[in-house]
């Protein structure tokens, strides 16, 4: 089983690199952001709740997102592994993921930290907002998301270092170059 956590600030390229990892290694992909955007589009109760948090640049409550993650995970049958994209985002979520995988006789194989300088993140997200119209990719919300990243999410770097799963990836460069570094790290597992 290849269980990969793809990690990084908003705009670090998690989604793009996840697609490549899925294509090369044939594992399942869970993007919590994509799951929530689909719920919003479908107009469900969960979607309505999620929209309130997302538009404010805030994280959803841990219990809610952990439940969503668990049910998505249970939907994968005969899986070769999973790439977790956008989860975990807090220490409580990392602990829940560890427990959830342990209950299934599994563990996280590697945590890939896509490291991108702050100015570059801003530029990428503003551009993405103009192209895709994603409601949370506007300057004000992006700034809030980066603050949330630094306060609630970046402590996971040390958490995964302590867990012996941390792998730094230089997130600046061409998409192919970054993927080559990722594939090298995965192939060493």
Task: Catalogue the active-site residues.
Answer: 14, 89, 128, 134, 145
Kind plus residue range of the DSSP H or E element containing 126: helix 118-132
Using CB under 6 A as the binding rule, whether residue 156 contacts ligand ADP is answered as no
Nearer to ligand ADP, 110 or 142 (CB): 142
Among the listed residues 71, 41, 54, the one whose alpha carbon sits nearest the alpha carbon of residue 10 = 54
Handedness of CA 102, 104, 110, 114 (dihedral sign): negative
Q: Does 171 bind ligand ADP (CB under 6 A)?
A: no
What is the residue whose two structure tokens read 């994968």?
76
3 lies in the site for ligand ADP, by CB under 6 A: no
Q: Judged by CB, which is closer to ligand ADP: 51, or 168?
A: 51
Binding residues for ligand ADP, total number by CB under 6 A: 18
Among 18, 145, 171, 181, binds ligand ADP (CB under 6 A): 145
Tokens of 85: 């994209």
Per CB under 6 A, 54 contacts ligand ADP: yes
Q: Based on the shown chain and the rule CB under 6 A, indicate whether residue 97 belongs to the binding site for ligand ADP.
A: no
**Cα 71 to Cα 67: distance, rounded to the nearest angstrom:** 6
Q: Which residues contact 105 (CB under 8 A, 6 or more apart)?
A: none
| Residues in contact with ligand ADP by the rule CB under 6 A | 10-11, 14, 32-33, 36, 53-54, 58-60, 65, 86-87, 89, 93, 136, 145
């Amino acid at each position: 089983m290849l269980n990969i956590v793809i990690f990084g600030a908003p705009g670090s390229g998690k989604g793009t690199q996840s697609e490549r990892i899925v294509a090369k290694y044939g594992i399942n992909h869970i993007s919590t952001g994509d799951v929530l955007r689909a719920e919003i589009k479908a107009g469900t109760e969960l979607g309505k709740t999620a929209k309130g948090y997302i538009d404010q640049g805030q994280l959803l409550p841990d219990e809610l997102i952990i439940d969503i993650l668990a049910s998505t995970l249970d939907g994968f049958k005969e899986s070769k592994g999973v790439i977790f994209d956008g989860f975990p985002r807090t220490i409580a979520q990392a602990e829940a993921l560890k427990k959830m995988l342990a209950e299934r006789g599994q563990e996280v194989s590697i945590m890939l930290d896509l490291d991108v300088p702050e100015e570059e993140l801003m530029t990428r997200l503003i551009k993405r907002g103009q192209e895709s119209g994603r409601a949370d990719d506007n300057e004000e919300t992006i700034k809030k998301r980066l603050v949330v990243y630094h306060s609630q999410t970046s402590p996971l770097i040390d958490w995964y270092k302590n867990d012996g799963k941390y792998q730094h990836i230089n997130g600046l460069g061409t998409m192919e170059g970054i993927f080559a570094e990722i594939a090298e790290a995965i192939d060493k597992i």
